[in-house]
Structure 1
Amino acid sequence: MKHPHRNPGWTRRLAVLLAAALLSACATIQAPPPEERIAADPWEPFNRNMYAFNRGVDRAVLQPLARGYNTITPEPVERGIANALDNLRSVPVMLNLLLQGRPAHAGRMFERFFVNSVFGLGGILDVASDAGIPDFDEDFGQTLAVWGWEDSRFLVLPFLGPSTLRDALSRPVDATADVPWREVIDGRLYILGVDIVQQRADLLDREEDLEAAFDEYLLVRDAWLQQRAYKISGESTTPDYDVLLEEDPWDDDLPPTADPDGD
């Protein structure tokens, strides 16, 4: 008897898409020799190939889903979904603020979470921003930076994209902090899928700039490192990523990088 949760046709289609993504990994600019790499990216050959793989998956799967999502979802509904998903992420943010020794900011984040959950229909409406309650964007990678692990090697993760060794190791902690809240919601896997598509849809307007770059990998790496350095530099509220992404990615004024022999 056929298993009710298996779909051989979908499995085959997924295999074809992943195969196309793997083939796209071959089309990447060759990494420079070790002596010419920046200290923060000693694993550049691996990272370039992983970036190419992720871009293949993105073009084959995520971009079509995101464009379809944008087409069928009215802008107010899309914004409401994004607000609700941001509200769900408030819980691990509060925990990280406490771990960073910032109880006052954790209290404001709880205030924001409470106001949006109760008066914003579960976070669909961002009532807290209208009321002037600040927003924070903290994760366990930033907490580790506050604790002393400030510099870390750049690392591109399969499917997850740009990261560092520090931030990659911190992901399970943030995921664990997020689970108890999501456990109370039926269809949490569906919510996770919508979250991924929503975040990709928000980045569709960057696609032309990305494809116009001579070296996509360098553009993404340098912009991401600058963003990440900004987030852990002591700013208390969510940084303006748009301003950072508009900066020249070829600028040599990069954030402090790790020692080549460090992590």
Structure 2
Amino acid sequence: MKQTQMRLVGLGSVLALLAGCASVKNPTPEDPLESYNRSMFAFNDAVDRNLLTPVAKGYQAVVPSPVRTCVTNIFNNFGDIWSGVNSFLQGRGLDSVNTFGRVLFNTTMGLGGCIDVASMKGAPRIQNDFGTTLGVWGVGQGPYFVLPLLGPSTIRDTAGTIGDGFGSAAVYASPGAINDVPVRNTVWGISFVNTRANLLNASDLLDDVALDRYSFLRDAYLQRRQAQLNQKLGPVVLDAPDDQKQGGGNLPVYDDPEAGGTAGGNGARPAANPNLPVYDDPEAPAADTSGQTSAMPASGAVSPSGQGRASTPAAPAADPSLPVYTDPEAK
């Protein structure tokens, strides 16, 4: 078995060297290293198809789903420690506190992290890494770069991967902190195989939809990393209604005609941005100042303060220079 694996790795190396002989004449602007990257991608793909994928499928077939979920949660729980450190380094103190709270909660109530109790209670993971931290600090992304066996990266993320290795080991958040070499390598192997098994469905989908697997993975990776960085550069979002998160508080507030109160959900209108209008439901009746129901104008009314439901406006003072007409059919 070992000799077969070595032959497969050797075959992948030969394929990579052969692929490297062909250079890309017009590389993509954000991928100036495309010739090397495609060669390394071909090598990684050969190793993955001939070695990693069969092992991951065997692991998935032998290990029950609850056990695989437990293993994934335990590794995620350790990874959250390093994520919390990176949130602190990025100046996102609230994210850091919430992440360390997740670790404490899952470690105690979740049986050492086997059960993700925090997510069940509505506290989602805040993933973070040193590559994103470098981006927050202003380090440029650099060109796209495919790492041997590890796959898609950039120059900045490659430095971040090195930082993740040393940093997570320093805070005892990865197998790298284990001094016993056989145990450490076994844990690394389980982590790697478990991660690959979790991605089997994604790789099958990629084979079905991607015409050029290399370009698809490259573009998806760059877009995802940029989105993660933008999220860390944005404001910290506290627990709030979904329509008020990430700047939702700057949107106009609409009354719900079927609810007992307003859009706030508890009968009281939430604080509105005074720079934006408040729209009433044109089909709902409006209460005048005397407490009686009067007809709402078809276009709705806006209170002068920009908040709350406006009552039917009083008739404007008549211009004495204009004639007054009486409706003969009115009672």
TM-score with structure 1 length normalisation? 0.79
Indicate whether 1:204 and 2:204 are aligned: no
Instruction: Please show how residues 111-260 of structure 1 align to structure 2 within 5 Å.
Output: 111-180=101-170, 181=172, 182=175, 183=177, 187-212=183-208, 213-234=210-231
CA–CA distance in structure 2, aligned partners of residues 79 and 28 of structure 1: 39
SS of alignment partner, residue 117 of structure 1 = helix
Per-residue CA deviations over 1:89-112 (Å, capped at 9, x if unaligned) read 112111111110011110000000
Structure 1 residues 59 and 45: CA distance shift in structure 2, 3 A: same
1:164 alignment partner AA: T
Q: How far is the alpha carbon of 1:198 from its aligned partner?
A: 1.1
Q: How far is the alpha carbon of 1:13 from its aligned partner?
A: 3.2
Contact 1:31 1:48 in 2 (8 A): no
Structure 1 residues 29 and 119: CA distance shift in structure 2, 3 A: farther
Q: Which has the higher contact order (CA 8 A, sep 6+)?
A: 1
SS of alignment partner, residue 214 of structure 2 = helix
Once structures 1 and 2 are overlaid, which stretch shifts more, 132-141 or 12-21? 12-21
Contact 1:109 1:134 in 2 (8 A): no
CA–CA distance in structure 2, aligned partners of residues 230 and 30 of structure 1: 33
Once structures 1 and 2 are overlaid, which stretch shifts more, 208-217 or 178-187? 178-187
Structure-2 residue corresponding to 1:18: 9
1:167 alignment partner AA: D
1:51 alignment partner AA: F
Give the percent of matched residue pairs that are identical in Structure 1 and Structure 2: 35
Higher Rg: 2
Contact 1:17 1:60 in 2 (8 A): yes
1:226 alignment partner AA: Q
Contact 1:96 1:140 in 2 (8 A): yes
Contact 2:141 2:155 in 1 (8 A): no
CA–CA distance in structure 2, aligned partners of residues 188 and 125 of structure 1: 23
SS of alignment partner, residue 145 of structure 2 = strand
Q: How far is the alpha carbon of 1:85 from its aligned partner?
A: 0.7
Contact 1:116 1:123 in 2 (8 A): yes
Structure 1 residues 207 and 170: CA distance shift in structure 2, 3 A: closer
SS of alignment partner, residue 153 of structure 2 = strand
Once structures 1 and 2 are overlaid, which stretch shifts more, 205-214 or 131-140? 205-214
Per-residue CA deviations over 1:148-171 (Å, capped at 9, x if unaligned) read 124321000001100000110121
Q: How far is the alpha carbon of 1:14 from its aligned partner?
A: 3.4
Per-residue CA deviations over 1:78-128 (Å, capped at 9, x if unaligned) read 111100110111121111111100111100000000001111111100001
Q: Which runs of 5+ in 1 are unaligned?
A: 1-8, 238-263
Structure 1 residues 136 and 150: CA distance shift in structure 2, 3 A: farther
CA–CA distance in structure 2, aligned partners of residues 28 and 123 of structure 1: 44
CA–CA distance in structure 1, aligned partners of residues 134 and 192 of structure 2: 25
Which is richer in helix? 1
Indicate whether 1:103 and 2:93 are aligned: yes
Structure 1 residues 133 and 185: CA distance shift in structure 2, 3 A: farther
Indicate whether 1:92 and 2:82 are aligned: yes
The count of residues paired between Structure 1 and Structure 2 equals: 226
